[in-house]
């Protein structure tokens, strides 16, 4: 196999929860050695969040190493348990940073200052380090120490205001979307850009990535619409200003779907041609000449009746069959899939081998998200499962930090290493 593109780089991962660790894992997937700094004094809460692995009797396993949530975002990392509240712990942190190419954190500035990990402090130790700070609201400003996660960012950035139905409260996107996609993606891009600069100049630099500003990017034209037209986009449910029909439509139930028998089909018809093709594919070509639906403007004006009609057509059909028929006629359509579909039943995902199965010492064989993109010459790879808490403390101390066995023993006794 070809050498992965980031082989030879080392990442000091001082992050937690999702946004930071996912970005660091992406770097690791493409070859970087990632050392995840943790502490049982305040364990990363993802280590104790469901879903948990199961015992043979069907009960949940317990402990810090059995969360599928944590494990999925920390594959192939080295776990170092280090008490950053102690001066000697901070000295060891500097030692790790001195021997690393990238530093990444998403803690608030208050915590970073408490641990003496401000950029000017770590740059004094390693001027070549690329240091990525991704607190929720940035390093400066009146809200710099505000706490929050994806569930807070979604409303703060305006996404929740536009998500849901007009007559109901905002609902957001149902998951911590910023943590999983937007913030880590922007962080990795910024790190790669800074590494390119370092390759040319030999100089590291500070990356400040306020998560709130990163996430505002996904609002699309909403802010521009207000700027240009004074319009303040609200909630439109599943409807779109540029397509009709546009929504999700009930299909035939599937009793084999675990805990989720109801099936739905998402459909989008941006123009008259797609509408005509939908009518043909679903066996109702006469609807094209219905004066209520003859043009896009007509369909928007009669959208309640349009949605009811399409829903009647799809109700007796298998969602997968309806999708296949519509796609064959050039109509954008897709099954509203659940977790079981993605992992076990989607033939396309299975054929591409997106999910990777790794053997973990406590959870057993489990699925991990694969690389988010494929490089033809230097593909990414998940080389190992997520680490047990502190699994590599001794190895990191000896191989990377250059400590002797006696020194490690003393630091363990002092509570610097945990």
Residues 20-29, mean pLDDT to the nearest whole number: 96
Q: How much is the pLDDT for 220?
A: 83
Nearest to 358 by CA among 122, 68, 162: 68
Domains of the chain: 10-217+353-413 (3.40.50.10540), 246-348 (3.30.1540.10)
In DSSP terms, which residues pair with 248 in a beta bridge? Answer: 266
What letters, b where the CB count within 10 A reaches 16 and e where it falls short, cover 3-21? Answer: ebbbeebbbbbbbbbbbbb
Q: Which residues contact 18 (CB under 8 A, 6 or more apart)?
A: 46, 73, 149, 150, 176, 179, 180, 184
Q: Which residues of 386-410 are buried (b: 16+ CB within 10 A; e: fewer)?
A: bbebbbbbbebbeebbebeeeebee
* Cβ neighbourhood burial of 48 (10 Å; 0-12, 13-18, 19+): middle
Instruction: Determine the pLDDT at residue 2.
Output: 61
pLDDT digits (tens, 9 = 90+) for 266-275: 999 999 999 9
Q: Is the peptide bond before 179 cis (omega within 30 degrees of 0)?
A: no
Judged against a pLDDT cut of 60, whether residue 1 lies above it is answered with no
* Per-residue confidence band for 287, with pLDDT thresholds at 50, 70 and 90: very high
Question: Any idea of the CA torsion for 179, 181, 183, 189, to the nearest 10 degrees?
Answer: 150
Which is catalytic among the residues 13, 44, 101, 179?
A: 179
**Where would I find the H helices in 210-369?**
211-216, 222-229, 272-281, 296-301, 303-314, 319-328, 339-340, 347-352
306: tokens are 């349009």
Question: Is 410 an annotated catalytic residue?
Answer: no
CA distance 137 to 214: 10
What is the token pair recorded at 289? 């000449």
Give dist(CA 311, CA 288) in Å, integer: 16
Exposure b/e, 76-94, CB count within 10 A at least 16 = b:
bbbbbbbbbeeeebbebbb
pLDDT tens-digit readout, 214-256: 999 888 889 889 999 999 888 999 999 999 999 999 999 999 9
Residues 48-106 have pLDDT tens digits of 999 999 999 999 999 999 999 999 999 999 999 999 999 999 999 999 999 999 999 99
**pLDDT band per the 50, 70, 90 thresholds, residue 25:** very high
Sequence-separated (6 or more) residues with CB below 8 Å from residue 11: 24, 27, 28, 32, 33, 34, 35, 100, 101, 102, 103, 104
């Amino acid at each position: 196999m070809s050498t992965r593109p980031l082989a030879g780089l080392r990442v000091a991962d001082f992050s937690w929860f999702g946004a930071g660790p996912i970005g660091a894992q992406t770097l690791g997937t493409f070859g970087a050695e990632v050392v995840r700094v943790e502490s049982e004094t305040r364990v990363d809460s993802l280590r104790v969040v469901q879903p948990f692995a199961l015992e043979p009797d069907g009960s949940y396993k317990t402990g810090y190493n059995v969360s599928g949530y944590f494990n999925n975002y920390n594959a192939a990392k080295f776990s170092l348990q280090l008490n950053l509240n102690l001066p000697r712990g901070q000295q060891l942190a500097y030692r790790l940073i001195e021997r690393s190419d990238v530093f990444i954190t998403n803690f608030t500035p208050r915590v970073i200052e408490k641990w003496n990990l401000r950029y000017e402090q770590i740059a004094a130790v390693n001027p070549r380090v690329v240091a990525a700070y991704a607190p929720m609201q940035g390093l400066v400003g009146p809200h710099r120490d505000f706490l929050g996660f994806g569930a807070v960012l979604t409303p703060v950035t305006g996404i929740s205001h536009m998500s849901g139905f007009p007559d109901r409260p905002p609902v957001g996107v149902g998951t911590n979307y910023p943590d999983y996609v937007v913030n880590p993606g922007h962080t990795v891009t910024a790190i790669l850009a800074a590494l390119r600069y370092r390759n040319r100049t030999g100089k590291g630099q500070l990356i400040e990535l306020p998560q709130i500003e990163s996430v505002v990017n996904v609002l699309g034209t909403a802010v521009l619409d207000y700027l240009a037209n004074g319009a303040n986009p609200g909630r439109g449910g599943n409807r779109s200003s540029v397509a009709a029909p546009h929504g999700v439509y009930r299909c035939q139930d599937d009793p084999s779907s675990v805990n989720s028998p109801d099936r739905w089909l998402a459909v989008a018809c941006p123009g008259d041609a797609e509408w005509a093709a939908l009518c043909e594919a679903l066996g109702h070509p006469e609807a094209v000449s219905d004066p209520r639906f003859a043009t896009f403007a007509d369909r928007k004006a009669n959208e309640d009746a349009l949605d009811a009609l399409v829903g009647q057509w799809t109700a007796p059909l298998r969602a997968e069959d309806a999708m296949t028929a519509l796609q064959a006629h050039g109509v954008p359509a897709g099954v509203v899939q659940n977790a079981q579909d993605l992992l076990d039943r989607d033939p396309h995902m299975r054929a591409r081998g997106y999910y990777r199965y790794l053997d973990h010492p406590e959870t057993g064989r489990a699925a991990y998200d694969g690389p988010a993109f494929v490089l033809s010459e230097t593909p990414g790879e998940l080389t190992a499962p997520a680490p047990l808490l502190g699994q590599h403390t001794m190895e990191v101390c000896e191989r990377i930090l250059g400590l002797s066995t006696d020194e490690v023993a003393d630091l363990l006794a002092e509570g610097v290493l945990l």
